[in-house]
Structure 1
Amino acid sequence: MLISKSAADENLFRKMFTFPQESTTAHVLLQTGPVSFTALSLCFRSFTDSPQPHTFFSLTMNSTTNDLLVHYEPKPKSVVLQVGGAEVRYRGVDFPLNQWNSLCLTWEASSGIAHLWLNDRGLTRKYTSESHMNGSATIVLGQVLKGGRKYD
């Protein structure tokens, strides 16, 4: 992932972040200057032994909360994707514990269609939101605060 237009652009390819304790505050926070997204592609790998629900990625533009959010809920087993306030669930999806899991997604504002892949297996394409994302972005990797609070 490359954070564009930031003071210190850094490619996070092959970077790994470790959160050694379950916490509602352990996360990596990335901030950008003004950006505009009409389409997104995102890929990452995750490894955990925690059976708790957890958030992988959150993108917040300006004062709104979770313009793009990807999280896992073990009961019922599902990956939840939120885009522009619309939420879709991919049910029957398991993130096996103690092994690397790969998740990729694409989203396009012109159609509102999102497509997820888990461990190289394509999941159902789903309609989310056709809203464009404009402004300064705050990206949170890892666990986020409960209640979907915005990061300052």
Structure 2
Amino acid sequence: MEKLLLLMVVFAVCHAETKDMSGKVFVFPKEAITDYVKLLTEKSKFDAVTTCLRFQTDLDRNYSIFSLATQSRSNDYLIFKTNKDGIMMHVRNPNTVFQSMPLTPNVWHSLCSTWRSDDGTAQLWLDNQTSIIRYIAKGPIDGKPSTILGQEQDSYGGGFDVTQSFVGVITAVHMWDRIIASEEIKYYMMHRYFSPGNVYNWGSLDYEIVGDVRVAREHDVKWM
């Protein structure tokens, strides 16, 4: 039985490899707890974070946008769409909700987030809208990260809930271990040149696909 389970895991997981994902997207075609993408990095301590990504979904319920867990905290850095017109952001487990930032279904959204450990503050950029600065938590994110697209982690690398799974398309994922300049974020939003992420870089991405997630060409997906 143990050998059978091991074989199932081997077949379900695509071996990690570094790929240039420029012009490509991850497609999450269905609600499930078995389908996700795991992003890989050697970095294990963060005194500041910037993340950026683009996505499209037809969901009008809540769902996970970006989930980073460590062995000590399942929500060390989580971006989550709530049922209302808000985006919830967790850091080191505590959270805040950025209000009046609606994620319209069936529309492509560009989303960036920042957080700094020295004063615990965070900020969001959604398309052409900038949030206020909100306090979440002080102190570094410390520990080997489990970073997952498509699911929200309630435990390190697992604890998924199908009602929080992502269905749609994700692309252009970048993460930095610092707060990048607001001009760089604007360039990202405008699809202009910017310095790629030094934690996760869409142009040189280490990842594993688990379950039914596929890679597609960007121009094969309706771009709005």
Aligned CA distance change for structure 1 residues 86 and 13 (closer, same or farther; 3 Å)? farther
SS in 2 for 1:17: strand
Question: Residues of 1 paired with 2:88 and 2:19: CA distance?
Answer: 28
Residue of structure 1 in register with 2:124 after alignment: 116
Residues 74-85 of structure 1 aligned to structure 2 (within 5 Å):
74=83, 76-85=84-93
TM-score (norm 1): 0.83
Q: Comparing both structures, which one devotes a greater share of its residues to strand?
A: 1
Work out whether residues 73 and 93 of structure 2, in 8 Å CA contact, stay in contact via their aligned partners in 1.
Answer: no
Question: Residues of 1 paired with 2:109 and 2:51: CA distance?
Answer: 14
Larger RCO of the pair (alpha carbons < 8 Å, separation 6+): 2
Match of 2:55 among 46, 49, 64: 46
Question: Residues of 2 paired with 1:46 and 1:71: CA distance?
Answer: 13
Deviations 1:33-72 (A, max 9, x none): 3521000111111100122211011111234211000010
Runs ≥4 residues deviating over 6 A:
none
Match of 2:76 among 67, 84, 87: 67
Residue of structure 1 in register with 2:98 after alignment: 90
Residues 16-55 of structure 1 aligned to structure 2 (within 5 Å):
16-55=25-64
Question: Residues of 2 paired with 1:52 and 1:24: CA distance?
Answer: 16
Unaligned runs of 5+ in 1: 1-6
The number of residues matched between the two structures is 143
Give, in angstroms, the shift of residue 30 of structure 1. Answer: 2.1
Question: Residues of 2 paired with 1:15 and 1:61: CA distance?
Answer: 28
Give, in angstroms, the shift of residue 99 of structure 1. Answer: 1.1
Question: Residues of 2 paired with 1:142 and 1:15: CA distance?
Answer: 16
Match of 1:127 among 112, 131, 135: 135
Moved more, 84-93 or 7-16: 7-16
Give, in angstroms, the shift of residue 89 of structure 1. Answer: 0.4
TM-score (norm 2): 0.58
Give, in angstroms, the shift of residue 25 of structure 1. Answer: 3.1
Unaligned runs of 5+ in 2: 1-15, 159-224
Residue of structure 1 in register with 2:211 after alignment: none
Moved more, 111-120 or 58-67: 58-67
Work out whether residues 76 and 141 of structure 2, in 8 Å CA contact, stay in contact via their aligned partners in 1.
Answer: yes
Question: Residues of 2 paired with 1:30 and 1:93: CA distance?
Answer: 26
Aligned CA distance change for structure 1 residues 101 and 128 (closer, same or farther; 3 Å)? same
Match of 1:150 among 138, 148, 156: 156
Question: Residues of 2 paired with 1:33 and 1:27: CA distance?
Answer: 20
Work out whether residues 115 and 123 of structure 2, in 8 Å CA contact, stay in contact via their aligned partners in 1.
Answer: yes
Aligned CA distance change for structure 1 residues 106 and 12 (closer, same or farther; 3 Å)? farther
Question: Residues of 2 paired with 1:88 and 1:143: CA distance?
Answer: 19
